[in-house]
Chains A and B, each alone.
Chain A
């Protein structure tokens, strides 16, 4: 670990003139759980409890030393099993799916474990409107020490044909592509570990 710096700054004092523009991101910090994950009614559920067709996706979040990160937050957003989003900007129109929100939020525990309970998404149209995108989930990662949220995707290891045709997966080098595949785990669901840094560093996107 790095030693404690003796001095930091001095940075210049802020000027007083405000200018209009995007508000910058700041780290979520170490103490967000009482403000973000604990008051969240549905906890790790993107799906109502009565849906027996739910799947669990779980894993750990690691730093560049391979240590689990106990103060990270994961958010997931995804299509429903028909490949639709209940959102007005879905060009096919917003359509609700019974018992399904498409969104979940999970903190990590002391071993860096996170989990969400959801429905497996369907394929969705790609930007070219021709090649469908393989079923996937969009994942946002925040943590102490992360200055701006990181975004990645979860694809499913039991969809090899769809994955092989997915334009986003195929645009990535092999060592990045494999970091986006959640592998099925018998009796439990799918495992998806997230490495913020290091040899197994997860592929993160800008958009």
Chain B
């Protein structure tokens, strides 16, 4: 909490982790003309940037977390459970937050007109899901393990299997769009998007863990993945937050 002379009390968020500035990563070709060359300007703490849209329960239907339940029948592929907790960098759970995901189907094909990969679409799988974290910050999706797919970045380029995640968080510093990967994927060694995160420890935080305890016997393997957002140095106005929650 920083307090200015006027008594304006604003939560203070930890800085963007080092090495995470938006920048060029030459081996990921699309970055070349899409990163600002001028250094980012410093913005002092301001109410508009330490608040943000509070998106929660009212955005989610009862089956939105189950991506295998959106068609007339079961989608093809390997059914999996993806679950974990949404935490801030102080380790505190972040309850009531919207998580949006999208992914390719088991064949590595997206429901998107630009995706030209000659693999079949699955009429029973759109690859879109939403959920809201519970009081302990937990989330859980049921889906199909996405396939690897080719992309034109370099000769014989294939993306490792991944699921896209979008979290708005409690305030703009917590806004995160990222990708969840699967353990042991042999394609990590040639994927410039995964490796665009320079710090190895940070990079490895994008890999989920096979979770046999949450695996449902005779039904679906589970993968566990915690998501950690930049946290305020202390949680302000807890009572207020609950009152308006």
**Contact, CB under 8 Å: B228 / A23:** yes
B119 within 8 A of A: no
Give the number of chain B interface residues (Cβ < 8 Å): 108
Q: Which of B17, B41, B153 has the most CB of A within 10 A?
A: B41
**Contact, CB under 8 Å: A206 / B16:** yes
**Contact, CB under 8 Å: B155 / A5:** yes
* Interface band, chain A: 35 or more
In the bound complex, what is the Cα–Cα distance between A136 and B48 (angstroms)? 9
**Contact, CB under 8 Å: B227 / A23:** yes
**What B residues does A146 contact at CB under 8 A?**
22, 31, 34-35
A26 within 8 A of B: yes
**Contact, CB under 8 Å: A203 / B38:** yes
> A130 touches which one: B6, B21, B157, B209 (CB < 8 A)?
B6
In the bound complex, what is the Cα–Cα distance between A38 and B205 (angstroms)? 29
A30 within 8 A of B: yes
Closest to A30 in B: B114
The B interface is mostly helix, strand or loop, or mixed, namely loop
| Interface window among A9-17, A48-56, A156-164, A184-192 | A9-17
A109 within 8 A of B: no
**What A residues does B4 contact at CB under 8 A?**
127-129
- Would you list 6 pairs from A and B whose C-beta atoms are within 8 A, ordered by A residue? A13-B188, A91-B47, A144-B30, A145-B28, A148-B16, A196-B36
Q: Which residues of B contact A (CB under 8 A)?
A: 4-11, 13-17, 20-23, 25, 27-38, 40-55, 59, 89, 91, 100-102, 110-112, 114-115, 126-128, 130, 152-155, 157, 164, 166, 170-173, 175-179, 183, 188-197, 199-207, 209, 227-230, 236-237, 240-241, 243-244
Given contact pairs A5-B29, A206-B43, a sample of 19 additional A-B residue pairs in the complex whose CB atoms are under 8 Å apart? A5-B27, A11-B189, A13-B188, A22-B89, A32-B164, A35-B127, A39-B128, A69-B34, A89-B11, A102-B53, A125-B47, A126-B46, A127-B46, A128-B6, A145-B32, A171-B41, A204-B22, A206-B16, A207-B45
Shortest Cβ-Cβ A-B pairs, 10 listed: A129-B6, A35-B102, A145-B30, A103-B53, A64-B33, A87-B51, A207-B43, A206-B40, A145-B34, A63-B33
